[in-house]
Amino acid sequence: MQHVDNDALIPNNVGLADDRRLLRALEHWQPAYLRWWQELGPDGALAHEVYLRTAISVETSGWAHYDFVRMPEYRWGIFLAPAEANRVIPFGRHKGEPVWQDVPGEYRTELRRLIVTQGDTEPASVEQQRHLGATCPSLYDLRNLYQVNVEEGRHLWAMVYLLHAHFGRDGREEAEAMLSRHAGDPDKPRILQAFNEPTTDWLSFFMFTFFQDRDGKYQLAALAESGFDPLARSCRFMLTEEAHHMFVGESGVMRVVQRACEKVDEHKTADIRPYGGIDLDTIQKWINFHYSICLDLFGQEESTNAANYYSMGLKGRFQETRIGDDHVLADAVAHVPALDGERLVEREVTALKAMNETLRSAYVEDSQRGIDRFNKIIRDHGIDVTLRLPHRAFHRNIGAFAGVKATPEGKLISAEEWNRRRGDWLPTEADRAFVSSLMRPVREAGRMADWIAPPKRGIHGKPVEFEYVRFH
């Protein structure tokens, strides 16, 4: 296996020291990255020392090191999961051929687009979350926010490495463009709309890491099957970090739900806002918003691009190698949701063109498993409320349901009814103002904002009361 060089200016296990040209290109990009971090990374956090995990290896037995770090000094490294000996392309028309170590010329454009689209989401999320530090509910949460942020930065590094190493001049230009597009910038927005929405409060942050990072997990898992081996190996290692992001999201929402239930118990009313709690109706609205914008991230239900990515062997399905079919899918069919006039129907399409929908379905199931865990907390408190994922047709901007007016149950309604009722389903200005009013910073070790329950345990064996962030 490739040796890990942790003392280099850019820690890596890709043999950078032996590739002068690539090393120079990345050392040239590094100061631009650091400038971006200082300008658009976590606001006001440059001097904080944060108890962070840093990737130092790709061994499952201990790939991470924990210590206090000032974030601009975080060592963003380039790590690929170990190469699998004799790996072959697992799907598509090249199935069974040896994986590519270099970009196949005929698929260059498609591969670059996939890498750029994935890469663009990484710095976007850091930009979206940059003001949250000012209103952290605890030091534990603040540390988790920063952990997610530095790892999204590392994911950008992972994609920028691929661009620099395999795409020559276009790759260098794309790497620069990653730092010039910005979340929510009207002139140079991020590529995908969900990555332009502001993340203004911590409930949104937990929903973001629950829903949006889960989209990340599914996209990375599909790319981890790629016949382009450096991409597959990059994504496989990124997935180990992604797991923590989803933990932050899921446990974060759970703690908000837990606190809501405690307040309902205590005050004998569902309307716990006067008591400083985030009520379950509000949590449902946040779910409706974040889930629906994340469904859009998977793209059109029927997609020629997605079919091509699969046939070319560039982007597979979730856990491709565990699926029991021929992995070529020349004649296979699938069903995708569609709209027939006023009716929601299913349409038969080729399985290849349904790739986006197949990935989206896996995501929907996975999201539901998380929601079930939230509902268990509510049930355990004897409260008669069930949180739900809204219907696929609800509040969509891409695909068959773009612009369709539907209730969270999937009933089609008129524009007039939508306008009248949308505030029952999606966060209103007043809801956002209320949630924001609770966002007051708690920066004393061991203390927790009143709207959220403490976590079950701390980070890496440290107690919850540990001083995870030291301010200077």
List residues near Fe ion by CB under 5 A.
122, 152, 155, 213, 216, 242, 245
3-state secondary structure of 457: coil
> Which is closer to Fe ion, CB of 155 or CB of 273?
155
Q: Give min distance, CB of 356 to Fe ion, in A.
A: 20
Q: Give min distance, CB of 281 to Fe ion, in A.
A: 28
> Which is closer to Fe ion, CB of 133 or CB of 277?
133
Q: Give min distance, CB of 335 to Fe ion, in A.
A: 31
Q: Give the orientation angle of helix 168-180 with respect to helix 108-128, to 10 degrees.
A: 20
> Which is closer to Fe ion, CB of 129 or CB of 356?
129
Q: Give min distance, CB of 122 to Fe ion, in A.
A: 5
Q: Give min distance, CB of 209 to Fe ion, in A.
A: 7
> Which is closer to Fe ion, CB of 5 or CB of 122?
122
> Which is closer to Fe ion, CB of 196 or CB of 311?
196
Q: Give min distance, CB of 408 to Fe ion, in A.
A: 26
> Which is closer to Fe ion, CB of 77 or CB of 408?
77
Long-range contacts of residues 191-195, Cβ cutoff 8 Å, at least 24 apart: 191/116, 191/117, 191/120, 191/121, 192/117, 192/120, 192/121, 192/124, 192/296, 192/297, 193/293, 193/296, 193/397, 194/293, 194/294, 194/296, 194/297, 195/120, 195/121, 195/124, 195/125, 195/128
Q: Give min distance, CB of 211 to Fe ion, in A.
A: 11
- Whether 189 and 425 have beta carbons less than 8 Å apart is answered as no
Vertex 103, ends 92 and 304: CA angle to 5°? 40
What's the first-to-final CA gap in the chain, in angstroms? 41
Longest dimension (CA), the chain: 68
Tell me the C-alpha distance between 20 and 23, whole Å: 5
> Which is closer to Fe ion, CB of 77 or CB of 216?
216
Q: How far, in Å, are 303, 344, 352 from residue 340 at the CA level?
A: 18, 6, 22
